[in-house]
Structure 1
Amino acid sequence: MTGEGGEGEIDNETTEVVDVVPFATIVGNGRIGDALAKAGNCIVLGRNDKIDPNGDGPIYLATRNDALEVIIDECPTNRQKDLVFLQNGYLNSLLETKNLTTNTQVLLYLSVASKGITPTDGVTTYNPEGLTTACGEWATNFQQRLAALDLKCNVVSSIEYRPSMYEKLIWISTYMLVGAANDCRSVGEASKNHSQQIENIVNELVLGVSVKEGITFADGTMNRLQSYTDVVADFPCGVKEFEWRNQYFYDLGDDTVPIHNTLLKECSKKGLLSFDLP
C-alpha cells in the first residue's frame, strides 16, 4: 500500500502474527489503550505526557475525542504525521483544521466491556473477515498489532475508507438515538424491538451522505450494521458526543434527514439529552 493509503494494490488479507509486533507509542491507558498494549513492544503514555520528538513509529491515540485537539497541538510538529486516530465519530473537520487529513485512521469494530477484559472482535456472520478497517501509512502496523491479539483488521485505500467511516458513524448515531428515544438498555434491545425505525433512519442517512459527499456505499449496509449489533448486543444506549456523532447528520437539515432530526428533537423535549441542540 502507499504511504497515504492512496492508489496502488491493497492487501486486504489479515497479516500473520509475528513474533514481535512493530513498535508503537500508545496514548491513553483506558480500555482500548490497555488492550492494544497487551500485544507488547510499545510505550504507553497518559494523555498529558509528552510525545518524544526523537521517537519513531506510529502514535496510536486511544483517547476520548475531546482530548484530541490538545494532544495534536502539543505533539512535536515532526511527529504529527505519525498520529493514528482510533476514535468513533466524525473527525474530518478537526483533521482538516490541523492539516492531518492524510494521517492513518482506524475504524474500530470491537468492544471492550471493561479494562483488562478480552476484546470482542467485530467478526459477524455477514462479515467473517471482520469489520475493523484502517487506511494510511501505519495501517499495516496496526493490522499486525491486532493480529497478535487474534483480532482482525482490513487495510484499505483512503477512497475505500470513506464510505466505511460514514457507515460506522451511521451505526453509532442511529442505534444510540433509537435506543435512547425508546428507553432501551442496549443496542440489542433497540434492534429487537425497533428494527423498522432503525432501518428507516439508516436508509435516510445513507441517502443523505451519498448526496452530500458524492460517495457510494457497498450493498448490504443494513445487513452489516445489524450483524455487528448482534455481536455487541449488550452495548448500552445513549446519545453522547453530539458534536462528533449525530451533529453531522443533524446539520444536513430537516428536509434531508427528517426522521433522524425529528427523533433528536423529541428526545430533547423529553429531557433525554445532556446537551442543547443547535
Structure 2
Amino acid sequence: MATAVRLSLAPVAAIAHLSSSSAGRIRASSVMATTTSTPAVIVGGGRVGRMLQSLGDGRDVLVGRGQPVPAEFEGPILVCTRNDDLEAVLASTPPSRWNDLVFFQNGMLEPWLESKGLGDADQVLAYFAVSKLGEDPVDGKTDTNPEGLTAAYGKWASAVAARLHGGGLSCKVLEKEAFQKQMLEKLIWISAFMLVGARHPGATIGVVEKEYRSEVASLIAELASAAAAEKQLTFEEGMEDRLCAYSRAVAHFPTAVKEFKWRNGYFYSLSEKALAGGRSDPCPLHTAWLKELRII
C-alpha cells in the first residue's frame, strides 16, 4: 500500500506562455480525438493536469493532494507537478508502477532520475501553454519550427502524442538522443536568457533577444559547448537562431534566475567538477555572472 504524501499541485514550472501572434489557440473542448485516448493516471490538478484530463475520454484518474497513485491502474502516469514535488510523487507511487511514470517537467532531470534508478524514464518536453485553469491550451510554434516543438520520449510517448494530437496540439515522438538534444537546447535557452535578463533589471525575454543579443549569444555558445562535451554529442547547426526564434515567441516573458538546482545549477555543477579536477572552468562567463548577481 503506497503511503499518502502531501503533494503541492502547482502547474508544471516554466511551461512557455506563447503570444497569440506566434502560436495558435486550440479549443480542446471542440476538437474530437480521431483515436481512443489511452486512459492515464494524471498526477497534479493544476492547469496542465486538468488540460490533459480534458483531452481524455473520461477514463483517466486524477490524483489530487495527498492521494496515492493506484497500483492496479494500467497505463501511463502523467506527472504534472513542480520539479520540487517529484520526491513526493515517487513516495506516493508504488515501485511496481515507476516504469509507467511520464515526466512533464522542464529543466535537467537526468541526475535526479538516475539517482532513483529511472535513467530511461519517459519524458515530455512541453512547449504548449495553459494560461489559466480551464482555459484552452496554446500550441508553441516558431518561425524556425512551424511544425511545433513539443516532444515526447519513451514507451508511452506515442500515447501522449496521440492525446495531444487529439486536442489539436503538436507533439513529436523522438528517440533518446534526439530528445536529449532538444531537452538540452531548452535548458540552455532558459539558463542563458534568464541569466542575461537578470543582469538587466526589468528586461523581458524579448528585450534580451533584441538589445542584449551579443551577451546571450556568447552565453549560449559557452553552455552548448560545455553540454556537448559532457554528454559527448553534437548539436545541430543554428542553435542560436532557434533559441532566439523561440524567444520572439515568448517576448513578453519576464526574466529571473529560478529553480537553480534544475536549471543553471546543472552548468555550475560542470564548472565545479572541472575545477575540482584541476581543469579550467568550461563555463567561465556563466560562473562570473552568477557571482555578479550573488547567486553563488
Partner of 1:18: 34
Q: Does 1:97 align with 2:115?
A: yes
Partner of 1:237: 255
1:136 to 154, 162, 167: 154
CA contact 1:104–1:135 (8 Å) conserved in 2: yes
For residue 236 of structure 1, report the CA deviation from its aligned partner. 2.2
Q: What is the identity, as a one-letter code, of the residue corresponding to 1:137?
A: K
Counterpart secondary structure, 2:281:
coil
Identity across aligned pairs (percent)? 40
Distance 1:180 1:35 in 2: 31
Distance 1:176 1:120 in 2: 22
TM-score, normalization by structure 1: 0.87
Partner of 1:266: 292
For residue 114 of structure 1, report the CA deviation from its aligned partner. 2.6
Unaligned 5+ runs, structure 1: 1-15
Distance 1:191 1:119 in 2: 25
Q: What is the identity, as a one-letter code, of the residue corresponding to 1:48?
A: G
Distance 1:189 1:116 in 2: 30
For residue 67 of structure 1, report the CA deviation from its aligned partner. 0.5
Q: What is the identity, as a one-letter code, of the residue corresponding to 1:177?
A: L
Distance 1:26 1:246 in 2: 28
For residue 56 of structure 1, report the CA deviation from its aligned partner. 0.8
CA spacing shift, 1:162–1:179, aligned 2, 3 Å: same
Q: How does 1:154-193 map to 2 (within 5 A)?
A: 154-193=172-211
TM-score, normalization by structure 2: 0.82
Structure 1 stretches of 4+ moved >6 Å: none
Aligned-residue Cα RMSD (Å) equals 1.6
Distance 2:181 2:145 in 1: 16
1:81 to 94, 99, 103: 99
Q: What is the identity, as a one-letter code, of the residue corresponding to 1:97?
A: S
Q: Does 1:247 align with 2:265?
A: yes
CA contact 2:67–2:92 (8 Å) conserved in 1: no
Distance 1:201 1:252 in 2: 15
1:38 to 42, 54, 57: 54
Distance 1:220 1:35 in 2: 33
Deviations 1:232-255 (A, max 9, x none): 222221111100110111122272
Distance 2:47 2:291 in 1: 32
Counterpart secondary structure, 2:78:
strand
CA contact 1:134–1:161 (8 Å) conserved in 2: yes
CA spacing shift, 1:117–1:179, aligned 2, 3 Å: farther
For residue 59 of structure 1, report the CA deviation from its aligned partner. 0.6
Partner of 2:232: 214
For residue 131 of structure 1, report the CA deviation from its aligned partner. 0.9
CA contact 2:35–2:162 (8 Å) conserved in 1: no
CA spacing shift, 1:178–1:112, aligned 2, 3 Å: farther
For residue 19 of structure 1, report the CA deviation from its aligned partner. 4.5
Count of aligned positions: 255
For residue 17 of structure 1, report the CA deviation from its aligned partner. 4.1
Deviations 1:194-246 (A, max 9, x none): 11111110011111111111011111211211111111222221111100110
Distance 2:125 2:187 in 1: 10
Q: What is the identity, as a one-letter code, of the residue corresponding to 2:51?
A: A
Counterpart secondary structure, 2:42:
strand
